[in-house]
Amino acid sequence: MAFAGTGKIWMNGKFVDWKDANIHIATHVIHYGSGVFEGARCYATTKGSACFRLEPHMRRLIESAKIYRMEYPLDLQSWMNVVLDTIRINEMKACYIRPLVYRGYKELGVNPLSIPVDAAVMVWDWGAYLGSGALEDGVDVKVSSWTRMAPNTLPAMAKSTANYANSALIKMEAVADGYSEAIALDVHGNISEGSGQNIFVVRDGAIFTPPLGSSILGGITRDSIITLARENGYGVTETVLPRESLYTADEVFFVGTAAEVTPVRSVDKIKVGAGKPGPVTLALQRAFFQVINGEVPDRHGWLTYVYPEEASLRTTPKVVAGRSR
Ligand SMILES: Cc1ncc(COP(=O)(O)O)c(C=O)c1O
């Protein structure tokens, strides 16, 4: 969906109009991919607008920046406040949130250490990432001919702009071949992840997902789904998964901030299970949506409410003589 092109963007401590949030063509990040970023969501829950797991997202941003020696002078709480303020000033009820830390403008060269570190936060509307019907019916995917970054090349745990050159190759090939997404293998030929999502495989009621060592981003949705699955009585194992386990799985599903919980109904034109979303996927999708819609108590403190004036939505009505007031 194209940007509306309105609203405000936070840049280095100031809110600027969307149309004025520009950087110079000589900015380092454009030439050398020297940026790290986050993707989080704010949901319009039944109890008011709330960011989902804002703290771990901003912690990952700080850690990604640390890996690349580009620390920005905001601590975790300040980052969270900047995000909340950006949502508030834009009066968004629900939105996608994109904080970015990047090497700015001074000189060009491979050594980034002398280049200033700049930051921005933008928010906008973003709907179903893998197309309409994806969440309900599932998606058809292929195994990519591109592998994820090998360990000790580009760090997969850092959410760096540079890593998304690899993601773009995976995604473009998938789309060119008529699929909505692809699954990339790691350098050893084991399952890694999608271009922008983690992956889960279900067999005989047990759930498996590749470990951090399989060149994945340590997804916050992945962590949430592992927690929800265990709470719902499923065993979840983080383990190296061979490619062929995709073809013998009962269920396969993607998870991520953008993709949320999206069933995979075929891989390389081989049906996954019955070729439609399976019961474990649907149960976890439902559990996830109940949390992000505020329909169940927020047991883990995953929601950060945005607008103080909506606090009354969250007070439990007192029941007096069978009536609520
Ligand atoms: C490569 C990649 N893997 C996994 C994920 C899922 O991570 P999260 O659940 O934190 O959004 C993303 C999304 O940011 C991603 O880009």
Beta strands in the chain (DSSP E): 8-11, 14-17, 35-37, 40-45, 48-52, 95-103, 117-124, 139-147, 181-185, 191-194, 198-203, 206-209, 236-238, 251-256, 260-267, 270-271, 303-305, 319-320, 323-324
* Strand pairing category for 251-256 and 236-238: unpaired
Instruction: Give 219 Cα–ligand 1 centroid separation in angstroms.
Output: 5
Ligand 1 near 39 CB (within 6 A): yes
pLDDT, position 9: 98
Pocket test for ligand 1, best of 217, 225, 260 (most atoms within 8 A of CB): 217
Q: What is the C-alpha separation between 122 and 171, in angstroms, rounded? A: 23
Q: What are phi and psi of 202, to 5 degrees?
A: -120, 130
Catalytic site residue 171?
no
The protein residue whose alpha carbon is closest to atom 7 in ligand 1 is: 219
Q: How distant, in Å, are the alpha carbons of 71, 109, 185, 258, 319 from that of 181?
A: 33, 35, 13, 13, 49
H or E element, residue 227: helix 220-231
4: closest CA among 105, 107, 122? 122
| Composition of the chain by helix, strand, coil, percent to 5 | 30, 30, 40
Ligand 1 near 64 CB (within 6 A): no
With H, G, I as helix, E, B as strand and everything else as coil, classify residue 294. coil
Q: Looking up tokens 């950006």, which residue turns up?
A: 86
Q: What is the C-alpha separation between 243 and 184, in angstroms, rounded? A: 9
H or E element, residue 308: none
pLDDT, position 48: 96
160: closest CA among 28, 272, 64, 263? 64
Instruction: Give 89 Cα–ligand 1 centroid separation in angstroms.
Output: 26
- The DSSP-derived string for 82-122 is HHHHHHHHTT-SSEEEEEEEEE-SS--SS--TTSPEEEEEE
pLDDT tens, N- to C-terminus, the chain (325 residues): 789 999 999 999 999 999 999 999 999 999 999 999 999 999 999 999 999 999 999 999 999 999 999 999 999 999 999 999 999 999 999 999 999 999 999 999 999 999 999 999 999 998 767 777 899 999 999 999 999 999 999 999 999 999 999 999 999 999 999 999 999 999 999 999 999 999 999 999 999 999 999 999 999 999 999 999 999 999 999 999 999 999 999 999 999 999 999 999 999 999 999 999 999 999 999 999 999 999 999 999 999 999 989 988 887 655 544 444 3
The protein residue whose alpha carbon is closest to atom 4 in ligand 1 is: 197
Ligand 1 near 222 CB (within 6 A): yes
Q: Which of 8, 142, 159, 171 is catalytic?
A: 159
- The DSSP-derived string for 153-167 is SS-TTS-BTTHHHHH
Q: What is the C-alpha separation between 203 and 247, in angstroms, rounded? A: 11
Pocket test for ligand 1, best of 198, 212, 260, 302 (most atoms within 8 A of CB): 198
Ligand 1 near 221 CB (within 6 A): yes
Instruction: Give 196 Cα–ligand 1 centroid separation in angstroms.
Output: 5
Instruction: Give 23 Cα–ligand 1 centroid separation in angstroms.
Output: 26
Question: pTM to 2 decimals?
Answer: 0.95
The protein residue whose alpha carbon is closest to atom 8 in ligand 1 is: 219
* Strand pairing category for 303-305 and 191-194: unpaired
Instruction: Give 311 Cα–ligand 1 centroid separation in angstroms.
Output: 30
